[in-house]
């Protein structure tokens, strides 16, 4: 699967708190189509929060399927993610969807891709999208050297750093905490 461009989503677990955030930019080619897209969604009665990168319509389809899996498996996020990834990889329709998800609950962060991957990242920091590596590097540095910051503050600062560097990421941030 090709890396997903045109957004940045970042999740951090720090000091027992979790935050996930994303920028608001949607692009069509090299043109900004919209600057305030909400790419973060609360699922399963607010117990799980997911963010997406990639095609918006594809991502909404995946978010709907993921929420169905969460409901089917009693809110077990890891099991729901694995089942979604299996379907995504094997289903002829889903296989063509071009998006990635990050899902968080109070204990874990998962990256879910169409290649069948469900990854639980090291250091409890996960990022997807075109600005992912900038945001992830900033978050890892903040976790290591600015331990007094909250998970939400780390996500905000890291996304702002990514927005300063990545042309497909803007400063219109949405951040949710659990």
Active site residue 7: yes
- Given a contact cutoff of 8 angstroms between Cβ atoms, the answer to whether 172 and 35 are in contact is yes
Rama region for 14: left / alpha / beta (φ>0; ψ in -120 to 50; rest): beta
Q: Which of 7, 4, 20 is nearest to 125 (CA)?
A: 20
Q: Are 56 and 38 in contact (CB under 8 A)?
A: no
What tokens appear for 60 in the block? 């909404």
The residues carrying an active-site annotation are 7
């Amino acid at each position: 699967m090709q890396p997903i461009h045109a957004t940045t989503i970042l999740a951090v677990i720090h000091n027992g708190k979790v935050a996930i955030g994303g920028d608001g930019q949607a692009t069509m080619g090299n043109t900004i189509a919209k600057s305030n897209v909400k790419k973060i969604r609360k699922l399963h009665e607010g117990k799980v929060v997911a963010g997406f990168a990639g095609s918006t319509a594809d991502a909404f389809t995946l978010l709907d399927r993921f929420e169905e899996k969460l409901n089917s498996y009693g809110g077990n996020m890891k099991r729901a993610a694995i089942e979604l990834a299996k379907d995504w990889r094997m289903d002829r329709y889903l296989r063509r969807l071009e998006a990635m998800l990050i899902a968080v609950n109070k204990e874990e962060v998962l990256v879910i891709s169409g290649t069948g991957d469900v990854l639980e990242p090291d250091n409890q920091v996960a990022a997807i999208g075109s600005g992912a590596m900038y945001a992830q590097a900033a978050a890892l540095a903040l976790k290591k050297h600015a331990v007094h910051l909250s998970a939400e503050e780390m996500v905000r600062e890291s996304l702002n750093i990514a927005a300063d560097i990545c042309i497909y990421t803007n400063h219109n941030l949405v951040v949710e905490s659990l």
